[in-house]
Chain A
Amino acid sequence: MKIIGLIITIITGAFLVYAAIDFPAWSDPNSPASTYLSPYFIENSMKDTSVPNYVTSLLADYRGFDTMFETTVIFTAGLVCFILLRISGGKEPETSHYRHVLTGVTVTLKKGHKIPESEDFERIDDLWTPPDLIIKTSCRLMIPFIQLFGLYVIAHGHSSPGGGFQGGVILGASIILLAISHDLRTALEKMREKVVAILCPIGVSIYAGTGTLCLLLGVNFLDYSALASVLHVDPIAARSHGIFMVEIGVGIAVMTTMIWIYNNISSAGKYNQGL
Chain B
Amino acid sequence: MFWQIDLAILTLVVVTAVASIMVKDLLGAAILFGAYSFLMCLLWSIMGAVDVAFTEASVGAGVSSVFFVAAVFRTSRRTKD
What is A's interface to B at a CB cutoff of 8 Å?
2, 26, 53, 55-56, 153, 161-163, 165-166, 169-170, 172-173, 176, 180, 258, 261-262, 265-268, 274-275
Contacts and interface: CB of A to CB of B under 8 A. Distances in A.
B55 A165 contact: yes
B70 A173 contact: no
Contacts of B81: 2
Interface string B47-81: 10011011100110011001101110110000001
Contacts of A162: 51, 54
What is the interface residue range for chain B against chain A?
A: 10 to 19
Contacts of B71: 265
Contacts of A161: 50-51, 53-54
A146 B12 CA distance: 29
Given A258-B63, A265-B71, A267-B74, 19 more contacts: A2-B81, A26-B47, A53-B51, A55-B51, A153-B54, A161-B50, A162-B51, A169-B59, A169-B62, A173-B63, A173-B66, A176-B63, A176-B66, A180-B66, A262-B63, A262-B67, A266-B70, A266-B73, A275-B69
Contact of A169 (B47, B53, B58, B69): B58
7 contacts: A53-B51, A161-B54, A166-B54, A166-B59, A172-B63, A262-B70, A274-B70
A82 B73 CA distance: 18
Interface string B27-60: 0000000000000000000010011011100110
Contacts of A153: 54
B66 A166 contact: no
A166 B70 CA distance: 21
Contact of B73 (A2, A165, A173, A275): A275
* A contacts with B: majority SS: helix
Nearest to B56: A166
Contacts of A26: 47
Contact of A265 (B50, B51, B59, B67): B67
Contacts of A180: 66
A164 B54 CA distance: 12
Nearest 9 CB-CB pairings of A with B: A266-B70, A161-B50, A169-B58, A55-B51, A265-B70, A268-B74, A161-B51, A161-B54, A166-B54
Nearest to A9: B21
A265 B72 CA distance: 10
Given A2-B81, A161-B51, A162-B54, A169 B63 contact: yes
Q: Which of B53, B55, B63 has the most CB of A within 10 A?
A: B63
A170 B58 contact: yes
Given A268-B74, A275-B73, A262 B66 contact: yes
Contacts of B58: 166, 169-170, 173
